[in-house]
A and B are shown apart, each in its own frame.
Chain A
Amino acid sequence: MSGSLWPLVKLSLSRDRRSAISSTFGLAIGVASLVFFVSLGLGVGRIVREKVFPVDTSLVEVVPAQLSFGLLGGGTLDEPTVARLEALPGVKRAYKKMNVRAPAVTIYRGDFFGRPLHMGLEILAVGVEPDFIKSDLMLGDFADPGPDKPIPAIASTRLLEIYNKSFAPQRSLPQLSGQMLAGFIFPVDFNRSFVTSTNPNESAIPSQAQLVGVSDRAMLAGITIPLDAARRLNAAANKDAKTFTAVTLAATDPSQVPQLVAAVKAMGLRVDDQDRRMAENAGAAVAISTSSLALLSVLICLLAAFNIAHAFSASVRAREKELGVMRAVGASRSALFRLVLVEALLLGLLGGVIGTALALLAGYGLDVAAVRFVPEFPFKPETWFERPLWLMGGGVVLGVLAAVAGAFLPARHASRTAPVRVLAG
């Protein structure tokens, strides 16, 4: 068929404008709510994944077993064990980690970025290999400088976020960035504690730490220092300076992780997947909430499709004579079927586009309102929404599909119009 149905489609829609507007509105509401909630779910999921619980899916954190089996193997993470771990299939690299096993405190009195600060804090420290955090390094080469020199230290990105959004506003302290912190030196006394008793025969090891960057891979409540510095400090404090606290295995591919975890457990070691599980749980909670709301939106779209089915059934019944004339002047059954479906498709397209635009507008409105009216808090995002192209396109496609599905039976009815019956008299 080469004739254009558009004039007839336009005519039909313009004649039954109220029904067309009602059908389009129903679809637009369904599509808008779906796009809005999925966009919100994706956005919140991204915040959880990238900011609150940043988990590198290709990393496996290996820790010693809680019970050591001695000669039977398992237990400590020493150099031979690390070598065996690194030799496992699917391992690209093994990064050793060693806690500073002596307690440590920092007592800061002085100028803190233009504000006087008097603070005493118990801190934890972990030593890592330079390669583990090199991409986040802003200063120096992250090597142990030896005694009497400031130890390079990396702070946690999340800790900085909590400081900026919670602590600093409440204490009228300045907002800080990683760049501002780079080079900041503060005192650290190892082998000293505010909360636990230390051996009176062992004297404190006065030292200094210099912040050289911030990283998602750094310890959350403490400082991350070079592995060799941790070894040196443990030796100086008469602590274990040979076995490691943890080994982070970098898998060649995230798909290798399940096999790696199984192999690590077979070696009698444990995998610390607390962060991963928290991220997964939070992600699952977001996904479930999003799915529930998306399901509700799909139900709205279904209702819109029923509304369209009803409206088109009425329209086809009212146009029976007209459809009969069309048959008489040469319309085939398939042409009439297409005619009704194209009408629905147009409404669906319009409803999909309007709905998607409404969802975008509502999202931008909510973002602006959040910036203006929601107080600052850690990990507060600039936008709560993700707006991938596939979602925008999906909204429009959903509108079209709902409309076409709703109009299918009326279109079939139209195609079966018997001209002899409707044109009689």
Chain B
Amino acid sequence: MIEAKDISREYDDGAKGRLKVLDGVSLSVAQGEFVAIVGRSGSGKSTLLHVLGGLDTDFRGQVTVAGTRLDGLPDAALSRFRNETVGFVFQSFHLMSGVSALENVLLPARFSATPVTDLEGRAKAALDRVGLTSHAARNPGQLSGGERQRVAIARALFSSPKVLLCDEPTGNLDAETADGVVALFKQLNASGLTIVAVTHEDRLRGAASRVLTLSKGVLS
């Protein structure tokens, strides 16, 4: 499902010069796998996730996700890839305020390159998968942290992605709520969804079928 070869990524670090965050990282993830990438803060976990999801294009190396080669892909094609092939879940949820959970879940449909039928039906189905059918009309401000993250997961699931990319998805949740979200990931993975999550939390590490460690730009 994911083939990353020799990925390198550097940042301009001001007076210190160039900071190498990824140094020739290679990664292979099979379909249906649940991979957790762990490492200390600033080790490059999020950067690797952004590269795999087509959000960060300023890297060297080759990345192929679900048959799509990402390096060198033009913006329109890359956007379509993000819309149809992957789903992102962020630590801070990043929901739109002032609109309902349902409207948040529908966000990918607003940028879909192909006509999507029965938008509301699909959005409700996505909310149903995360157990929030009854919360469809609520605004993010009326939801708990765990519920917000579930809405964010439903948004990521809306386009039926092949891969779910999660960046510290339980980082902002209390232990009990985080357990619920991890259980949801396990359930989604059990239904065949490939998941790559970067985390420094044990509970998510424990749920993954494979754990990789990123340190000093190198994956092991």
Contact = CB atoms under 8 A, between A and B. Distances in A.
Interface stretch (B32-40, B83-91, B201-209): B83-91
A12 B136 CA distance: 20
Given A3-B109, A5-B110, A325 B82 contact: no
B43 to A, nearest CB: 14
B96 A1 contact: no
B79 interface: yes
B110 A8 contact: yes
A166 B86 CA distance: 84
Contacts of B110: 3-5, 7-8, 326, 331
Contacts of B56: 420
B55 A332 contact: no
B55 A329 contact: no
Nearest to B152: A325
Interface in A139-159: none
B103 to A, nearest CB: 7
Given A2-B114, A322-B96, A330 B108 contact: yes
B15 interface: no
B186 interface: no
Given A328-B82, A332-B75, A419-B55, A11 B98 contact: yes
A420 B48 CA distance: 11
Contact of A424 (B46, B53, B103, B155): B46
B111 A332 contact: yes
A329 B107 contact: yes
B79 A325 contact: no
A282 interface: no
Contacts of B96: 11, 322, 325
A328 B155 CA distance: 11
Nearest to B93: A325
Contacts of A335: 79, 111
A325 B98 contact: no
B98 A15 contact: yes
**For the side of the interface on B, what is the size category?**
35 or more
Interface string B128-162: 00000000000000000000000000010001000
Nearest to B167: A423
Interface centre among A2, A11, A325 (most CB of B within 10 A): A325
A116 B99 CA distance: 83
Contacts of B108: 329-330
B8 to A, nearest CB: 16
Contacts of A332: 75-76, 79-80, 111
A328 B55 contact: yes
A14 B97 CA distance: 12
A328 B87 CA distance: 8
A217 interface: no
B17 interface: no
Contact of A1 (B84, B99, B103, B111): B111
Interface in A1-30: 1-5, 7-8, 11, 14-15
A325 B94 CA distance: 7
Nearest to B110: A3
A351 interface: no
B112 interface: yes
A330 B84 contact: yes
A1 B91 contact: no
A425 interface: yes
Interface string A325-351: 111111111110000000000000000
Interface in A195-212: none
A324 interface: yes
Contacts of B55: 327-328, 419-420, 423
Interface string B176-192: 00000000000000000
B136 to A, nearest CB: 15
A51 interface: no
Contacts of B109: 3
A207 B107 CA distance: 93
Interface centre among B90, B107, B112 (most CB of A within 10 A): B107
A325 B107 contact: yes
Nearest to A328: B88
B50 interface: yes
Contact of B92 (A11, A15, A330, A425): A425
A2 B75 contact: no
A330 B80 contact: yes
Interface of A: 1-5, 7-8, 11, 14-15, 321-322, 324-335, 419-420, 423-425
Interface of B: 46-47, 50, 53, 55-56, 75-76, 79-80, 82-84, 88, 90-92, 94, 96-99, 103, 106-116, 155, 159
Given A2-B112, A330-B111, 14 more contacts: A11-B103, A14-B98, A15-B97, A322-B94, A326-B107, A327-B79, A329-B107, A329-B108, A329-B155, A330-B80, A330-B83, A330-B84, A333-B79, A424-B46
18 contacts: A1-B111, A1-B112, A2-B115, A4-B110, A11-B96, A14-B98, A325-B107, A326-B111, A329-B83, A329-B111, A329-B155, A330-B159, A331-B111, A333-B75, A334-B76, A420-B50, A423-B94, A424-B46
The 9 A-B pairs at the shortest CB distance, nearest first, are namely A330-B83, A332-B79, A329-B108, A330-B111, A3-B112, A331-B111, A3-B110, A325-B94, A328-B88
